[in-house]
Amino acid sequence: MLPREPFSGLLTDLYELTMAAGYVQNRFNARATFELFVRHLPPRRNYLVAAGLEQAIDFLENVRFSSEDVSYLRALPFFRHVRSEFFDYLSRFQFTGDVWALPEGTIFFPGEPLLRVTAPIAEAQLVETSLLSIVHFQTLIASKAARVTTAAAGRPVVEFGSRRAHGVEAGVLAARAAFVGGCQGTSNTFAGRRFGIPVYGTQAHSWIMAHEDEAEAFRDFLDVFPEQSTLLVDTYDVRAAMEKIIALGRKPAGVRLDSGDILADSKWVRKRLDQAGWKEVQIFASGELDEDRIEVLLRSSAQIDAFGVGTALSTSSDSPNVGVIYKLVEVGLGDTVRSAAKFSQEKITYPGRKQVFRFAGKDGKVSGDVIGLDTESFPGGEPLLVPVMRDGKQIEATDEEAPLARIQRVRNRCLADRARMTERILVLRVAEPPFPVRYSKQLEQLHDQVRQTVAKTARIG
């Protein structure tokens, strides 16, 4: 289910392989730079959170073509005229490029590269599809988690969405990305073991239903988990269930509301618990929650101490994809380096290797970003992209760091980045005006220059 070494090189769109065959067979030995970025913000998002870099690097270090992979391709009718040279190339394939990236947890905006790959062109091309899907998914979920935890206004949010994720792997990686974006933990136990993320769990309706008597179901659970039980009280009737628990006389750690009128029930339950002298028993709410419902509940003074958010988080349900793209920005052939850009209608890209510079105002809050060339520098502009791979090897091996420390470092970066954003950008509604990002003068000049060259070659040919 989770990526295991080695990754198959076939985890890519076929056209990456046809192009790679073309580059190899035509001896097109260019060194190319591609940038991975987002063209537009998804609806209702004011910013995005970079995530998935750890898995992307893992993929780049471990992608290989097995002999079965190569035989499969060789047998495709489409590859009939491709010479052996290409299949030999695949058998020896390893990613040998350099990668710069935004550290995971960094808040970023459209046009800003999350990842910049410089490698022999066929290599850079072959890794495109998997790089995109790896970075796409976790960025999507971390960005959603930032919204959900913003709405929860300091109350813990636990990611509960594995069951409706897009498969088993997506469930595990959603748990990781949700933690990066600010969640307190997850119910996905594998993610707990693999990444050190705190895990949380209560009980399901089936536990109550399996017992003939609801009170017995509560008591039997408290027998096994005397200290940290959170009891589910909405299987039949919330108030009747609460009376049974109080009558048992054994204080649970919390109770969970999962359906019905959570606002009214939370208020009633809080009062009843306090009356019973159980002020420290927490109320946990779940059941088709998202940032909007959480905001409304809290604005209405719901008595909720923590939230479990499932499907909305694990699928980013209101906006289940981000328009990530991976575009050629520079081609070096021998001694000449040429900047590249695309000028299809509505799909224009900027040429050249880029860096993102972030500026802060006197209040310490971020005031704006400039996307410039990587050769530029700006006083007070903090460059965000850092080198992460050189010659196909990870630069700073973090293998010795404990998984929990590593992922907490990433989560803390995200929380720190959020703290530096102004309120206007952090709220759930669309920011007006949006966060200011501009291209540097040098980049605009390069863009115009490439456009003129392209206009010449494209029309006149």
Binding flag, residue 236, a copy of itself (CB under 8 A): yes
Pick one of 76, 386, 395, 405: the residue that binds a copy of itself (CB under 8 A). Answer: 76
Residue span 22-61 as binding mask against a copy of itself, x where in contact by CB under 8 A, dash where not:
xx-xx-x-x-x-x------------------------x--
Binding flag, residue 391, a copy of itself (CB under 8 A): no
Burial (Cβ within 10 Å: 0-12, 13-18, ≥19) of residue 24: buried
What are 229's two structure tokens?
């039980």
Are the CB atoms for 219 and 248 separated by under 8 Å?
A: yes
Least distance to a copy of itself, CB of residue 358, Å: 27
Nearer to a copy of itself, 214 or 417 (CB): 214
> What span, in angstroms and rounded, lies between the C-alpha atoms of 446 and 258?
56
Give the residue carrying structure tokens 């606002």: 263
Give the residue carrying structure tokens 């076939």: 10
* CA atoms within 13 A of residue 171's CA, in its CB half-sphere: 15
Of 273, 211, 200, 272, nearest to 236 by C-alpha is: 211
CA angle centred on 186, ends 185 and 187, rounded to 5°: 145
Nearer to a copy of itself, 171 or 381 (CB): 171
Are the CB atoms for 318 and 44 separated by under 8 Å?
A: yes
268-297: which residues touch a copy of itself (CB under 8 A)? none
> What span, in angstroms and rounded, lies between the C-alpha atoms of 155 and 269?
18
Pick one of 118, 130, 150, 282: the residue that binds a copy of itself (CB under 8 A). Answer: 130
Residue span 189-208 as binding mask against a copy of itself, x where in contact by CB under 8 A, dash where not:
xx-xx-----xxxxxxxxx-
Nearer to a copy of itself, 397 or 460 (CB): 460
213-232: which residues touch a copy of itself (CB under 8 A)? 213-215, 220-221, 223-228
Pick one of 38, 51, 60, 82: the residue that binds a copy of itself (CB under 8 A). Answer: 82
Least distance to a copy of itself, CB of residue 174, Å: 8
144-183: which residues touch a copy of itself (CB under 8 A)? 160, 162-174
The amino acid at residue 333 is L
Phi, psi of 117 (to 5 degrees): -110, 125
309-348: which residues touch a copy of itself (CB under 8 A)? 311, 315-317, 320-324, 326-328, 331, 338, 340-347
Nearer to a copy of itself, 292 or 376 (CB): 292
Least distance to a copy of itself, CB of residue 303, Å: 19
CA angle centred on 32, ends 28 and 35, rounded to 5°: 145
